[in-house]
Structure 1
Amino acid sequence: MEQSDCLNSLSPAELRLLIRQEDYRISTTTGLANGYQQANVVILPNHLANDFEAFCRSNPAPLPLLYRSQSGETSCPPLAKLADIRTDISQYCVYQEGRLVKTVSSLQNYSSQPSSRTASEQLAVHHGQWSDMVCFYLGCSFGFEGRLKKAGVPVRNVEQGRNISMYRTSVPCIPAGAFSCPLVVTMRPVPAGLLDAAVEVTHLNPLAHGAPVHIGDPALLGIQDLSRPDYGERVELQPGDVTVFWACGVTAIEAILSSKPSLAFSHSPGCMFLTDLPDSSASSPITPPPDSVDPLATNLCPELTPLCFLVSHNPLLYSLASQKAVAKIRQLETIIGEDPGQRGIRALFVQDELLHSCLALSHSSSVAITTGFPTHYMHSPPDETDGPPGAIAMATMLLSLGKQVTIVTDRRALEMNQAIIAEAVRTGVLKNTIPLVTFEDSGPDSALHFLCHHGDPRKPRYDHLVAIERSGRAGDGNYYNMRGVNIKHLVDPIDDLFIAAKDIAGITTTGIGDGGNELGMGKVKEKVKSLMPNGSLVACVVPADYAVTAGVSNWGGYAVACGLYLLHTCPSHQRYLKKGLGLEHTSPQKQLQDWTANLPSVDKEESILSTLVRFGIRSGVTAHLAMEVDGLTFHPTHSDIITRLVEVTVGSATCNPS
C-alpha cells in the first residue's frame, strides 16, 4: 500500500513542515516527494569531518556528497530553503561512543540551553558541542524511485507499503582516516525484462547512488538471508523478479558505529531529509566537487549508459557495460567472424558470445586455459599453429589485469609447451612464466578434484575455463580432425573438466573454435552437424557456456584480450566491478599503459608464430612448416586482422571521463 495521495502531491517544503510538526502520517519517506532528491544525513564532531569527507570521496556510490555544512550550521541553503536539520527529519538516531543509544524526533535539545537538556544530553553535548558539529548530506536512492515508476519499473517496497530492505555486505569500503566499515546496500526486486530500464534510469541519477552495484545472487555480496535485512523491512519478490542492489547511504551509519565518536547523529534508516533538488543530476542546481562524487556524475554521456547482460545462471550474476564498450566488442566479433579460408564458419555464429565471455572473464579471478589440436597425426609434434598464440594472448592480458592463469595441456605436449612459454618470456611476449598442468582421468571424481580444492564443489580452484582450438570429444567418444581422422590416442580427456564444471557453482566456460570439432563447440553442435563438412561425425558434443566462433581460432583469443581491455577501461563496467568504491583510483595512467602494452600486436604474434615453427609445429590446413595458420600466411592475412582488432580497441575515445 502506498502513501496517501494527499501526501504524494505535496512539495518537499510542505512535507518538511509536516515532519517538523511530527505529523503521524509520515513515518518513512519512501514514495514521497517524487521528482526530488532525498538525503541521508550524518552529523559528526568537527575533528572527524575531514576524515569523513575523504571517506565519502573514496566511496562515492554509497556516499555521494551533496553538501557539507559549516560547524554548527543548521540550514543547508544549496539543498533546501528554510530548512532546519534539527527538526526536518521524522526520526533521528543518537550515538554515543559508537553505540546507538536512542531515537528521537528532534535534535533541538542538543543545541538548546543546558537547563532544557536531560542529564544524558548534557553529558553528550559536553563531549561535543553542537557548535562543533558538522552535517553531511548524502544522496539517497529514494530520489530515483519516482523515475523508476515513470519508466514502468515497479517499486516493490512502495507497492507493499514497506521501508526499503537494507543489508550489510561483506564488501569493505575504502578506509579513510578514522572511518572503515562494510558497504551497505538496498535491494529492490526488478522484473528480469526491465533490468535495462532500471539500470538506465538510476545511472542518470548518480547523486542518488547511480546505477546498481550488483544484480543477482545476494550471496555474492555476503548476504545469506534476504528475509532478514539489517535495516528497514523485508520486501517480497514477485515471480520473475531479480534481486538488484544499489549502494546505500546507511553505509555512513556503519562508519559511525565503527569509528565510535563521542557523539554523533544520523537519520533513522528510511527517514530521509527531503531536498528541493530535482532528481536528475542534469538539472541539479549544485555541482558537487568532481573528486567527491562518482566520476560518472560529472559525465553522463549517452555512450556511457550501461547495458545489462546475464553472465551466469549458477550463481545468478548479471553484469553492466557501457553502450560504447559493447559496441566496440561487437565490432571485434564482426572482424573475427570473417572467413578468408572459405570454411563456412559464419554458419556457426551466435551474436554476443564474445561479449558474454569477456564479461564472465572480467568477473573471474582464476582462469584455466587449454589448447592443442594434434591434427597432424603423421608428424611429430602433431600440433598445429592455431591455438597457442591465441591462448598466450589471452593469458597475457589476464595476467596484466591481475588474474591468476594456468594452462592445461596434454601429457605428451607438456615439455614442448613449457619450452614455448619459456621462449615467450625470454622474448618479452610474456612478463612471467605461466604454470602448466596436465589432467588425467584416474577415477570418477578426477575432474572434481582437479577443479576444486579437496574435491569440495564449494571451493573451486578456477572460476573460468577457456578452450581455444582444443580438440573436442565427438558423440561416439572419439576425437576427430576435420578430415574425419580419429586422433583420440593423442588427446587427454580435458573435456571432462568442462562437463564437470556445469555442475559446480561459480565456474563458467568458454570455447573458441573455427570448425565445430573444438572443445566447447557442443553449444552449436546441431549447426555443426547439419552445415559443416563431416559435421555429423566430427562435431564436438561438449558445450561451453559461451561458444566464440572465428575465421581462425587465434583471432578469437586476440579478440578476448581486446574485449577485456575495453571492459577494464569502461567506467560503467569498472564502477560495477568495484561496487562503486575507490573509483578515484580507476585505471591510473601507469596501469593503462601496462594494459595497452599487453594487447596483442603484430610483432608479438609474429614472434610467437616464429617460435612455434622453430619447434616443428605446422599450419592446420596445409601442414606447411611455415609462417602461416590454417593455410593463411601471417602477412598479410593475420597481421591485418590483428591491426584492425587493436585499432578498434585503442582507437579515438569519446565521452571518456578520464
Structure 2
Amino acid sequence: MTLSSLSPSALRSVIREQSQVIASTSGIAAGYRQANVVILHKDLADDFEAFCRANHSPLPLLYRSKPGEWGCPPLASQANIREDCPQYCVFEKGVLVNKVASLAPYTTQLQDMVTFYLGCSFSFEQALEKANVPVRNVQQGRNVSMFRTSVPCVRAGPFHCPMVVSMRPIPQDKLDSAAQCTHHIPQAHGGPVHIGHPALLGIKDLSQPDYGDSVECQPEDVPVFWACGVTGAEAVQSTKPALAFTHSPGCMFLTDKEEATVSLQDSDSVESPLTFCISQNPLHYSMASKLAVQRVRAVEELIGEDPGQRGIRALFVQDELLRASLSLSHSSSVLISTGFPTHYMHDPPEETDGPPGAIAMAAMLQTLNKHVVIVSDQRALEMNRKIMQDSVDKGVIKSAVPIISFEGSGLDASLQFLCHDGDPSKPRYDHLVAIERSGRATDGNYYNMRGINIKHLVDPVDDLFTTASTVPGITTTGIGDGGNELGMGKVKEAVKSYMPGGSLIACDVAADFAITAGVSNWGGYGVACALYILNQCAIHRRYVQKGLGLSPTDEQRNLWAASLPSISKEEDMLHILVKYGVRSGKTANLGLEVDGLTFHPTHSDIIQRLRDLTLENVPQE
C-alpha cells in the first residue's frame, strides 16, 4: 500500500511511529486540508490570534486549542499534536535550538501552551492538478520553495515579522487557472500574492530558498508566490518568547477535513481572478476579478467614442487602459506630463485638451496615496501653477500637486531627473504618464495636426520616456487622440496608415501602454474611473496589498468616489483654463470647448455616462 492511498488518520499513525518514511507532507493526503502549527504560551495566545486575523492570507486560522489540549476536534479525530507532525522546531527566546520528531518530552510545558492550526498551501495542490496546472515541486519529489520577503506583516501586540511566501513555477498559459482555483480556497492561503520577478518581494535568488527545497522552473514557467504559514515561525523568532514550537517547514499536520473542491462554475464566476502582464522589465503580473475587468473594458469603449469623427478607432488597442491602470494601481510615485502648444500664434499657445485629464488622474492617484508630480514646459510653469492653485480653490482636486519642469538634454540629464543620484536602481518615479503632450516625430520635430512644427515651444520631456524604457521598474503610458502625442509611438504604423498627415506628424516615442480616446481628456477621466473600479475590486486590492491588511473603510470608499471626475468639476476646470487664455484645440475658440466640441452637451454627456458606468453596481464586501 502506497502513502498516497492512505487516509490522513492512517498517515498520522505512520508519522507517530517516527519511521522517517514521511519526511515531508507535500504530495500526500491529496484532497485533505493540511495545517501549519504554532504553539505558544497561553499569555501570548490572544495577541497571536489578533496577528492571524490581521494577516489572514499567510495565517488563515483553522483552529485555536485550549491550553494543554492535544487534539483538535473540528479538524481531526484522535489527534495528538505532540506527535502528529513529521518534525517540529523548538524555539527558545526566538532562536531555533532543535528539531525533533516528537514534543512528548515537553508535555509539562505544553500544559500551559496553546496550539494554533493554520491553513497550508499543500491543501490546494490537488486543485491545481485537477485544473491541469503542473505542480513542479510534487513532480520533482521536492518540498516547496519558501522565501522570507521584504514585505512586513501587520503588527499585533508583540508579533511582527516579514511575510514568508511559497513559490511554485507555473506555465504562463496556466496563470489564470492557477489563480482561479486557489482563489476559491481561502483557508489554504487563497490566490497568489505576487506573480513575476522575485526581487519585487525582496527575494534575491530562487535557487536559494530560506525554507524547503529549490524547485526547477521550465522554460515557459513564471514564478508564482502564495502567502505561506511559515510566517508563523518568523513571528515566533521576531517576538522571542521563552519557549515556542512550530512544525518544521514542509512537515504539516494532516487533518481529516476534506478541502473544498473548486468547480468549473466557480472558475467561471465574475468574481474569479484574471491575470495580466503589466511589465516585462522586471516581469510583473497583476490581477483583478472578471467583473472588474469587464467594467474597465466598458470604460475603455466609452472613452473611445469619436464624435469629432477623427478616425481614432484605427489606433485602438484593447486593454491598454486596463493594463495601464493596473500598473498605476501598483505604483507609489507617478510623474504626469501634459501640454500641447498647438496655437503657436497665440499666447499662451496651449489647448484645453490635456490639463483637465491630467488633474483628474492626479486627483484619484492622490486619494489612493500615490505621490504625484506634474512636469510642464518651463515657459508655462507659472501659468500651470496658478491653474493648479485655482483647481484646489474650486475643489477640482483636494490639494496642490507639485509642478516642475525638465529642460535637460541627453541620457545623463534624464537619469538625474528620473532617478536618485542618477542611479537606475533607484528610480524616483515608477510610472510616467503623458496625456495630450506634444510628441517627437521621426525627424526630431514636433508637429500639430496641421503639420506645423512647434518644436521651439516644447521642452524635451520625450527624453524622460526614452530613458525610462531603459530603467527597470519605470513603466510609461501615453494618452492621445491623434497619434502625434508623446507615447503614441507604440501605434506609429497605424498613425501613418490611417491619420491625416500621419507620415509626418506621427510620434516616434513609444510608451509601454498607449491609450486612445475620442478626446485625450476622456482618456484621463477613464484612467481615474478604472483606478476606482480596480480599488473597489477585493481581488485586485488583496493582490496589491500582498494579502495583508484590512478592507477599506466607508470613509476611504467615499473619498475615492468624491475624487472621480464630475460635470461640475470639469466645467470649473475649463473656466479656469479660459481665465488664463487657454483655447480649444481645433478651433482656437476661447470658451468651454475642447477639440471643437462644446462642453455641453458633448463632454458633459461623456462624463456623466462615465460616472454612471463606474458607480453602477459597486460591489460591497
Alignment partner of 1:493 is 2:489: no
User: How far 1:304 moved relative to its partner?
Assistant: 2.2
Q: Which amino acid aligns with 2:603?
A: H
User: How far 1:33 moved relative to its partner?
Assistant: 0.9
Q: Secondary structure, in 3 states, of the residue corresponding to 1:317?
A: strand
Q: Which amino acid aligns with 2:151?
A: V
Q: 2:607 aligns with which of 630, 633, 642?
A: 642
User: How far 1:601 moved relative to its partner?
Assistant: 0.5
2:472 and 2:59 mapped to 1: Cα distance? 33
User: How far 1:444 moved relative to its partner?
Assistant: 4.4
1:136 and 1:444 mapped to 2: Cα distance? 55
Report Cα offsets for 1:96-115 as digits up to 9, x if no partner: 2222121111122222xxxx
User: How far 1:541 moved relative to its partner?
Assistant: 0.8
1:153 aligned residue = 133
Q: Which amino acid aligns with 1:253?
A: A
Q: Secondary structure, in 3 states, of the residue corresponding to 2:287?
A: strand
| Residues 207 and 281, structure 1, Cα contact 8 Å, conserved in 2 | no
| Residues 96 and 261, structure 1, Cα contact 8 Å, conserved in 2 | yes
| Residues 127 and 261, structure 2, Cα contact 8 Å, conserved in 1 | no
Q: 1:328 aligns with which of 256, 281, 295?
A: 295
Q: Which amino acid aligns with 2:210?
A: D
1:580 aligned residue = 547
Moved more, 86-95 or 392-401: 86-95
The alignment yields a C-alpha RMSD, in angstroms, of 1.4
| Residues 195 and 223, structure 2, Cα contact 8 Å, conserved in 1 | yes
| Residues 306 and 572, structure 1, Cα contact 8 Å, conserved in 2 | yes
List aligned pairs for 1:494-513, cutoff 5 A: 494-513=461-480
Q: Which amino acid aligns with 2:300?
A: E
User: How far 1:543 moved relative to its partner?
Assistant: 0.3
1:233 aligned residue = 213
2:225 aligned residue = 245
Q: 1:70 aligns with which of 56, 66, 88?
A: 66
Report Cα offsets for 1:155-214 as digits up to 9, x if no partner: 111111111111111111111112111101111111111111110111011100010111
Alignment partner of 1:51 is 2:31: no
List aligned pairs for 1:335-374, cutoff 5 A: 335-374=302-341
List aligned pairs for 1:236-385, cutoff 5 A: 236-280=216-260, 302-385=269-352
Alignment partner of 1:550 is 2:550: no
User: How far 1:24 moved relative to its partner?
Assistant: 3.1
Report Cα offsets for 1:564-607 as digits up to 9, x if no partner: 1111111111111111111x3x2111111111111111000000
| Residues 397 and 561, structure 1, Cα contact 8 Å, conserved in 2 | yes
1:355 and 1:510 mapped to 2: Cα distance? 11
Alignment partner of 1:204 is 2:200: no
Q: 1:629 aligns with which of 594, 600, 608?
A: 594
1:115 aligned residue = none
Q: Secondary structure, in 3 states, of the residue corresponding to 1:304?
A: coil
User: How far 1:37 moved relative to its partner?
Assistant: 0.9
List aligned pairs for 1:560-579, cutoff 5 A: 560-579=527-546
List aligned pairs for 1:455-534, cutoff 5 A: 455-534=422-501
| Residues 41 and 266, structure 1, Cα contact 8 Å, conserved in 2 | yes
Alignment partner of 1:18 is 2:14: yes
Q: 1:222 aligns with which of 202, 209, 212?
A: 202
2:119 aligned residue = 139
Report Cα offsets for 1:211-236 as digits up to 9, x if no partner: 01111111111111212111111111
Report Cα offsets for 1:326-379 as digits up to 9, x if no partner: 111001000001000000000100000000000111111111101111111111
User: How far 1:249 moved relative to its partner?
Assistant: 0.3
| Residues 181 and 267, structure 2, Cα contact 8 Å, conserved in 1 | no
1:140 and 1:205 mapped to 2: Cα distance? 10
1:366 and 1:551 mapped to 2: Cα distance? 28
2:63 and 2:468 mapped to 1: Cα distance? 50
List aligned pairs for 1:591-610, cutoff 5 A: 591-610=556-575
Quote the sequence identity (%): 65
Report Cα offsets for 1:243-279 as digits up to 9, x if no partner: 1111000000011111112221111100001111222
1:198 and 1:641 mapped to 2: Cα distance? 38
Alignment partner of 1:96 is 2:92: yes
Q: Which amino acid aligns with 2:43?
A: H
2:113 and 2:433 mapped to 1: Cα distance? 56
User: How far 1:43 moved relative to its partner?
Assistant: 0.9
1:338 and 1:282 mapped to 2: Cα distance? 40
User: How far 1:441 moved relative to its partner?
Assistant: 2.7
Alignment partner of 1:435 is 2:427: no
Report Cα offsets for 1:29-49 as digits up to 9, x if no partner: 000011111100111111010
Q: Secondary structure, in 3 states, of the residue corresponding to 2:2?
A: helix
Q: Which amino acid aligns with 1:173?
A: C
1:119 aligned residue = none
Moved more, 446-455 or 337-346: 446-455
2:579 aligned residue = 614
User: Normalized against structure 1, the TM-score is what?
Assistant: 0.92
User: How far 1:612 moved relative to its partner?
Assistant: 0.8
1:300 and 1:580 mapped to 2: Cα distance? 20
1:67 and 1:221 mapped to 2: Cα distance? 29
Q: Which amino acid aligns with 1:232?
A: G
Q: Secondary structure, in 3 states, of the residue corresponding to 1:142?
A: helix
| Residues 409 and 460, structure 2, Cα contact 8 Å, conserved in 1 | no
User: How far 1:560 moved relative to its partner?
Assistant: 0.3
Report Cα offsets for 1:600-648 as digits up to 9, x if no partner: 1100000001111121111111111111111111011111111111111
1:290 aligned residue = none
1:293 aligned residue = none
1:122 aligned residue = none
| Residues 167 and 229, structure 1, Cα contact 8 Å, conserved in 2 | yes
Say how many residue pairs are matched: 619
Q: Which amino acid aligns with 2:121?
A: S
| Residues 479 and 486, structure 1, Cα contact 8 Å, conserved in 2 | yes
1:161 and 1:312 mapped to 2: Cα distance? 32
1:653 aligned residue = 618
| Residues 206 and 281, structure 1, Cα contact 8 Å, conserved in 2 | no
1:343 and 1:559 mapped to 2: Cα distance? 19
Moved more, 79-88 or 242-251: 79-88
Distance 1:70 1:444, change over 3 A: closer
Moved more, 96-105 or 273-282: 273-282
2:7 and 2:610 mapped to 1: Cα distance? 54
2:411 and 2:589 mapped to 1: Cα distance? 40
Moved more, 90-99 or 29-38: 90-99
Q: Which amino acid aligns with 2:485?
A: E
Q: 1:590 aligns with which of 540, 555, 564?
A: 555
Report Cα offsets for 1:460-481 as digits up to 9, x if no partner: 1111100000111111111111
2:580 and 2:93 mapped to 1: Cα distance? 69
Q: Secondary structure, in 3 states, of the residue corresponding to 2:168?
A: strand
1:393 aligned residue = 360
Q: 1:40 aligns with which of 32, 36, 39?
A: 36
Q: Secondary structure, in 3 states, of the residue corresponding to 1:359?
A: helix
1:301 and 1:431 mapped to 2: Cα distance? 40
Q: 2:75 aligns with which of 79, 93, 116?
A: 79
User: How far 1:443 moved relative to its partner?
Assistant: 4.6
User: How far 1:22 moved relative to its partner?
Assistant: 2.3
| Residues 27 and 125, structure 2, Cα contact 8 Å, conserved in 1 | yes
2:169 aligned residue = 189
Structure 2: state its 5+ residue gaps. none
User: Normalized against structure 2, the TM-score is what?
Assistant: 0.98
Q: Secondary structure, in 3 states, of the residue corresponding to 1:642?
A: helix
User: How far 1:282 moved relative to its partner?
Assistant: 7.8
2:592 and 2:400 mapped to 1: Cα distance? 24
